[in-house]
Each structure stands twice: as structure tokens, then as C-alpha cells.
Amino acid sequence: MKHRLMLFLPLLGFLLLSGLLYRGLSMEPAGRESAMIGQPFPAFELATLADPGQQVDASLLQGQVTLVNVWGEWCPTCKQEMPQLQALAQEGVHLVGIDYKDKREKGRAFLAQYGNPFTLNIFDPEGRLGFDLGVYGAPETFLVDADGVIRYHHTGYIAPHEVTEVILPEVARWRE
């Protein structure tokens, strides 16, 4: 009897691992909470996309509520998201971009083709700032309050309806 039970252990292990894998793969990554919520925006010193000689740091996020969007020329969803970012800029939202894991020429060409809603674009070719933010893909968007603290994190594409239903209410909440 004991020997027979031992024959079922590999099957039981396989079923347990399969269940865990299925659960993990079926989870919605956009629903996960960012560990950065309530934390100061990470310290950095990087060049802008427009000017390799112009260095910027986290102090550029002080003084006003800012939406920081992580994007890349290589990201097809980022192209689809640009009209929503343009709409946010037209609504008076202060936008800063992070050109993530990209080549400078390609990032500039992307903005020339799809529009540039950003006040400034930080150039992060190695993805160090993205890593510090916990970015695992683009696009990702962070709402930073006037004190430089991350208050909201949107993983993935900002859909057209989310501009008015999610993003603008979050911006208004932190402007108060």
C-alpha cells in the first residue's frame, strides 16, 4: 500500500505545480499595486532626449502634479496611447516622458511622427530609471504629486475612456 502511494507523489506534485502555474498566468498584471505608491520618485540624473548635454534630475518633478509616462519607440502600444496623452496635455496636465531602453534617434523620430505631448523627455537608454521605478514594460504611467511623491501607477496602455474616468480624476485629486 505504501509503495502504491509513492507512485502517486509525482502526479500529485505535477498537479500542484500546474495549478500554481495556471493561477500565476491568469492573474492580470495591470491590477497589481506598485510598491512605489507613497514613495518619493527615485533619484536620478539623466540627459534629456532632445539635448544630450542637458542633465535633469528628480527636482524637475517638484512644485506641480506631473504625469510621468514611460514609453519607447519599439513599443507598439505606446503609438496607440499617444492620442490619449495628447488629450491629457490639452486638458492642462503636466506630462514628462521617459524614453525607455531606446536609441536617441528613434525616440526623436517617434515623437516627430506621433506628436510630443511632453514638456520634457528624459532619455533612459539603459533602463536604470525604469528599473528603479519597477517598470516591467512600456507604457507605464506614474502620477507624481507636487512634493515629488508617487501617488498613482497605471500599468499598460491608457485607453481613451480612462482619460476621463481614471487619469483626470486622479490628477484633480492630487492637485487639491
Cβ neighbors of 127 (< 8 A, separation 6 or more) are 100, 101, 135
Q: What's the pLDDT score for residue 176?
A: 77
CA-based nearest residue to 170, from 93, 58, 60, 86: 93
Domain ranges in the chain are: 33-175
33-175: CATH architecture: 3-Layer(aba) Sandwich (3.40)
**What tens digit of pLDDT does each residue of 1-30 get?**
666 666 666 766 666 766 666 664 544 444
pLDDT the model gives residue 15: 67
